Amino acid sequence: MHAVILFAHGSRDPAWARPIEAVAQRMRERAPATEVRCAYLELTRPDLPETVAELVAAGVQSLRVVPMFLGVGRHAREDLPRLIQDLQAAYPGLALELCPAVGENDAIVDALAQVALG
């Protein structure tokens, strides 16, 4: 069983997570056989370790973590890789892939440019 986690920063404002949840819903519509979850670094639940634990308990054997960051700051460069290392150590049988931040993807840059141009 395969899953994808959309990983974002988090916020005290519950409305902040709506765009991330919208991406997850669109993924579920396009790939119903893929388990899609959202997880957050701080201020919003669930966090990444909690989400991974739930997925592993449900039988997930491979997992892709997609950082939903436009910029690659300290969280993407340091905090997230450290979390991934800890999770890989906790679940050695799990195939765990950490993707680059979405802001590094040319398709995202092109889409944002198109939106900004109108």
Bridge partners, residue 36, by sequence? 4
pLDDT tens string 95-118? 999 999 999 999 999 999 999 999
pTM for the whole structure: 0.93
The catalytic position among 3, 5, 8, 9 is 9
**Structure-block tokens of residue 3:** 């899953």
Residue 49 has pLDDT above 80, yes or no: yes
Domains and CATH numbers, the chain: 2-117 (3.40.50.1400)
Calculated CA dihedral for residues 27, 2, 97, 80, nearest 10 degrees:
70
Take residue 104 and report the two structure tokens written for it.
Answer: 């590094």
For 11-26, write each residue's pLDDT tens digit. Answer: 999 899 999 999 999 9
For residue 75, indicate whether it is catalytic.
no
